[in-house]
Amino acid sequence: MAKIRPSQGAPYARIMGVGGYRPTRVVPNEVILETIDSSDEWIRSRSGIATRHWASDEETVAMMSIEASGKAIADAGITPEQIGGVIVSTVSHFKQTPAVATEIADRIGAGKPAAFDISAGCAGFGYGLTLAKGMVVEGSADYVLVIGVERLSDLTDLEDRATAFLFGDGAGAVVVGPSQEPEIGPTVWGSEGDKSNTITQTVPWDDYRDGRPEKFPALTQEGQAVFRWAVFEMAKIAQQALDAAGITSADLDVFIPHQANMRIIDSMVKTLKLPEHVTVARDVETTGNTSAASIPLAMERLLATGQAKSGDTALVIGFGAGLVYAATVVTLP
């Protein structure tokens, strides 16, 4: 029997660079109030959101990804030709095939990398990061570009009082490359498919074959059920990620949860009993919930504003539709 040659990858992997893109249009709560019966005070108290960004026709999923990717590649200090893999997490690229990752790879000048899309909702960045780490350590790519990107304004029902104020658009990207030290910890990830109806699309695409539905598909959720799950169950997953990395909350410098809702973030901080010295990402206030893009966008802002610095130890956790989740500890680039 022939023996297969073992993989010749790096000992470990790390995040080398990060970049983000926020659409130019800033949408305050007052615009949302034009179509729902609510108030600015109610929206802020329920979600912590004051503004969000909505994309123009020109700010496509591909365009926003390319802008974020260029920044991440420059931050990593490599060239596009060195990228051996492009992973895009999104639920708002409306062309079933081909994957938007292939278009992005070509337009950034990456050559002929492995390129594919994944759909893991708000946990998508964590899923992509884990796959990229595996590719680098396995040796199938030296550098992998991981992108989280959404145009959730396309999937928002502006007449739905429960969700109209939540979602925003944007793209975040990181470059994952080789490391001599473990700088991306073990991932704690999974799914709870029995709860899949708590966050879902209102109308499946195949309904359009037999007649146009009254409304375009939109995202809907059971708010209280999602809140309870995120606060209590995801705090447990976050703790498991700390345990898997061999550290405690006292060792953390930064906490970057999915930017779903300020109340969820604050409740998780309390449940995890994070020390006061830990910087907590609260990008949701001005960016809204951007699903797969929220963690890299929040990461970039913390580094750009000096609230976090290169070398900091950060706990990242994403959770959302599926219901799916992914948490890991990383060293910031």
Contact 49, 288 (CB under 8 A): yes
CA angle 63, 69, 71 (to 5 degrees): 115
Known active-site residue 122 = yes
Element counts in the chain: helices (H) and strands (E): 10, 14
Measured CA to CA, the distance from residue 291 to residue 258 in angstroms comes to 7
Q: What is the DSSP code (8-state) at residue 184?
A: B
Contact 257, 269 (CB under 8 A): no
Active-site option among 122, 197, 261, 277: 122
Length of the chain: 333
For residue 1, how many other CB atoms are within 10 A of its CB? 3
Active-site option among 53, 258, 261, 277: 258
For residue 33, how many other CB atoms are within 10 A of its CB? 16
For residue 216, how many other CB atoms are within 10 A of its CB? 13
Tokens of residue 311, six digits: 């070398």
For residue 242, how many other CB atoms are within 10 A of its CB? 21
Known active-site residue 277 = no
Residues designated as active site: 122, 258, 289
